[in-house]
Structure 1
Amino acid sequence: MSDESLNRKCELLSKEPEIRFAGFLDMMGNLVVGSFSDGIKPLKNEDERKKMFIEAVLRIRTRQDFDDNLGPVEYAAARRKNVVTFTFLYDDKVLFISAEPNVDIDKTAQKIMNLCS
């Protein structure tokens, strides 16, 4: 999938009111495309975000060890005090989303999957 196509998906996701950030990461944790939604102030600086992206990719790669027995992970979510983060494996990229802390995780994950299908 082209970077332009991935960027269009990020732009579409960023229009959703509960989404703070949408981006696609390569398998090294580098941000390929993505940005914060309009008016959103990042909670982490660029170096901290890079660490968070690398950790997200490592978690996805580790989970893949169990795909044969348990099936692939559809998504992973973490609810924190100030934000909810989601990761989705998307071809050879990882879709990383941060959302407002009060979201319904399952409904939001389903919405993201529908918007990206």
Structure 2
Amino acid sequence: MMFQSVNLEEYYLYHRKCNLLLEEPEIRFAGFLDSMGNLIAGGFKEGIVPLHDESERWKLHIETVLRAKTEQDFDYDLGEVEYSVSRRKKVITYTFVLEDKVLFVSSEPTVDIEKTAQKIIKISNI
């Protein structure tokens, strides 16, 4: 895993939020990413086998951050993005922009997307 340096207080806050999310049965991964796609805090739930190796996950994280930041270009006309979701065959991914960080979460593919997104928002205090 790649960890970007942040101050200790931020790290503990992000880490605590990720741990709370990972307690939910449907959540596979919860992590905070910096603007370069580096994982600041979080990771996979214990016992979950990642679907990609570390280098592929980093590429996914970069793409996620770029997409999230690009979507902000349309905030003026369309309103602020609350979150983005991608439904895939094996997982559902959720992206939340929080100031200069991105919360990236993946869940099992069988969940109710809106219900899970609202749960993530509540747990993360977004």
**TM-score, length of structure 1 as denominator length:** 0.97
Query: Secondary structure at the residue paired with 1:112?
Result: helix
| Alignment partner, residue 49 of structure 1 | 57
| Alignment partner, residue 73 of structure 1 | 81
**TM-score, length of structure 2 as denominator length:** 0.91
Given the alignment of the two structures, is residue 109 of structure 1 paired with residue 113 of structure 2, yes or no? no
**How much has 1:91 moved relative to structure 2?**
2.2
Given the alignment of the two structures, is residue 7 of structure 1 paired with residue 29 of structure 2, yes or no? no
**How much has 1:86 moved relative to structure 2?**
0.4
For each residue in 1:2-24, what CA deviation from the matched residue of structure 2 results, as whole angstroms up to 9, or x when unmatched?
11100000000001000000000
Given the alignment of the two structures, is residue 39 of structure 1 paired with residue 47 of structure 2, yes or no? yes
Amino acid of the structure 1 residue aligned with 2:64: A
Paired residue for 2:99, among 72, 79, 91?
91
Superposition CA RMSD, Å? 0.8
Q: Take 1:54 and 1:93, find their aligned partners in 2: how far apart are those partners?
A: 12
Q: Take 1:116 and 1:94, find their aligned partners in 2: how far apart are those partners?
A: 12
**How much has 1:97 moved relative to structure 2?**
0.3
Q: Take 2:60 and 2:25, find their aligned partners in 1: how far apart are those partners?
A: 23
Amino acid of the structure 1 residue aligned with 2:63: E
| Alignment partner, residue 19 of structure 1 | 27
Structure 1 residue ranges (4+ consecutive) displaced by more than 6 angstroms after TM superposition: none
Structure 1 unmatched ranges of 5 or more: none
Amino acid of the structure 2 residue aligned with 1:2: E
Structure 2 unmatched ranges of 5 or more: 1-8
Query: Secondary structure at the residue paired with 2:80?
Result: coil
| Number of equivalenced pairs | 117
